[in-house]
């Protein structure tokens, strides 16, 4: 079978398909000798016309319908060793090209990271760390400063019960927290599988929860849906965590709510734009903790994403059902 790797210039493909994965695919398939980028399509036009499959990851080139028709007339499947395919998938699907993503594999490390952040936020650990850099221990941990409740009987809000949100819910059921889940699309059957008796409105979650974690699907309808009217409802020492997508947050509104109540916290692994603007107010606030989109991105974890796509290719090449295929209908509710 003929294949190629696709990635934007300077992208992370060799990192994700590292430790022998890149070489394994080159041995098993007739691969284009160069990684295909947005700049060398014409150079490889002849070879690309016979390509059956694409292997890619973050920094996939979002080809247009006309580019797919011109350069990839034989393409049958794309294997994406990362999570969301929202930004490139639709022109491929419109041509009947199948897309598999490692979103299920990626859910575990992102969920682990999220649960760790929820635990730290409930403890107020990072604000305490900052205090202790300039204050004595006696001053830093005296009872009047320890306003954060920990986990016991603490309300935690989960926004969205997709792959990652569902796994966060399952993990947190081992903790003595009270879960409040917002997801207007969740089925009764899925609620039963997650041992949920009811769901809550956004207003209820933001008003009642100590920590709120965002996992809402990323689509045009959800852009800007987390705004000041919600952030202003947060408790005076509540925390907001975002490992989902930055565009869902009106960041000026979040910054305002954090300014108004300095004991509130925000833990942001994603922002919009990304990378975060150098002059963003969120960079300046002492109660904001920003990581550079690392929740599912540790070295061996990304190799697992590549492994899952190699396994998916094996199923495809043998004519077996795909285990990680993303369909057009799934895009409506996926991150």
Question: Do 34 and 55 share a domain, yes or no?
Answer: yes
| pLDDT tens sequence across 250-284 | 999 999 999 999 999 999 999 999 999 999 999 99
Question: Do 153 and 213 share a domain, yes or no?
Answer: yes
Question: Do 127 and 258 share a domain, yes or no?
Answer: yes
Domain carrying residue 40: 2-105+298-332
| pLDDT tens sequence across 233-245 | 999 999 999 999 9
Strands 325-326 and 98-101: antiparallel
Question: Do 96 and 111 share a domain, yes or no?
Answer: no
70, 38 contact by CB (below 8 A): no
Question: Do 185 and 281 share a domain, yes or no?
Answer: yes
Q: What is the pLDDT averaged over residues 64-71? A: 98
Question: Do 66 and 199 share a domain, yes or no?
Answer: no
Question: Do 62 and 146 share a domain, yes or no?
Answer: no
| pLDDT tens sequence across 158-206 | 999 999 999 999 999 999 999 999 999 999 999 999 999 999 999 999 9
Question: Do 184 and 278 share a domain, yes or no?
Answer: yes
Question: Do 270 and 321 share a domain, yes or no?
Answer: no
Question: Do 307 and 321 share a domain, yes or no?
Answer: yes
Give the domain CATH number at 167. 3.40.50.720
Question: Do 141 and 239 share a domain, yes or no?
Answer: yes
Return d(Cα 103, Cα 22) in angstroms, integer.
20
| pLDDT tens sequence across 106-156 | 999 999 999 999 999 999 999 999 999 999 999 988 887 889 999 999 999
Q: What is the DSSP string of 268-331?
A: ES--SSSSPPTT-HHHH-TTEEE--S-TT--HHHHHHHHHHHHHHHHHHHTTPPPSSEE-GGGG
What is the number of structural domains in the chain? 2
Return d(Cα 307, Cα 304) in angstroms, integer.
5
Whole-prediction pTM: 0.89
Beta bridge partners of 213: 158, 241
Return d(Cα 161, Cα 151) in angstroms, integer.
21
Question: Do 21 and 136 share a domain, yes or no?
Answer: no
* CA 93 to mean position of chain CA atoms: 22
53, 78 contact by CB (below 8 A): yes
């Amino acid at each position: 079978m003929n294949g190629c790797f696709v990635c934007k210039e300077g992208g992370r493909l060799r990192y994700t398909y590292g430790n022998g994965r890149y070489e394994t695919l080159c041995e098993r398939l007739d691969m284009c000798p160069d990684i295909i980028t947005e700049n060398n399509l014409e150079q490889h036009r002849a070879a690309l016309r016979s390509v059956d499959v694409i292997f890619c990851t973050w920094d996939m080139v979002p080809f247009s319908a006309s580019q797919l028709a011109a350069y990839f007339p034989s393409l049958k499947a794309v294997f994406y060793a990362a999570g969301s395919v929202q930004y490139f998938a639709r022109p491929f699907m419109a041509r009947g090209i199948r897309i598999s993503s490692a979103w299920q594999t990626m859910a575990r490390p992102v969920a682990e990271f999220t649960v760790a952040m929820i635990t730290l936020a409930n403890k107020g650990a990072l604000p305490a760390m900052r205090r202790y850099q300039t204050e004595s221990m006696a001053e830093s941990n005296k009872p009047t400063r320890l306003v954060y409740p920990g986990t016991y009987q603490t309300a935690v809000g989960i926004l969205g019960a997709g792959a990652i949100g569902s796994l966060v819910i399952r993990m947190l059921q081992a903790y003595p927290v009270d879960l409040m889940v917002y997801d207007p699309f969740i089925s009764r059957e899925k609620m039963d599988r997650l041992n949920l008796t009811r769901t809550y409105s956004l207003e209820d979650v933001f008003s009642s929860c100590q920590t709120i974690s965002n996992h809402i699907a990323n689509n045009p309808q959800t852009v800007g849906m987390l705004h000041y009217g919600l952030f202003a409802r947060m408790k005076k020492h509540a925390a907001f965590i975002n490992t989902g997508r930055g565009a869902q947050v009106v960041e000026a509104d979040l910054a305002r709510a954090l300014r108004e109540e300095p004991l509130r916290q925000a833990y942001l692994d994603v922002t919009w734009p990304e990378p975060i603007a150098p002059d963003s107010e969120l960079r300046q606030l002492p109660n904001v903790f920003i990581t550079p989109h690392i929740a599912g991105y540790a070295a061996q974890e990304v190799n697992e994403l590549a492994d899952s796509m190699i396994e998916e290719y094996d199923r495809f090449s043998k004519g077996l059902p795909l285990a990680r295929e993303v369909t057009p209908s799934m895009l409506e509710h996926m991150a």
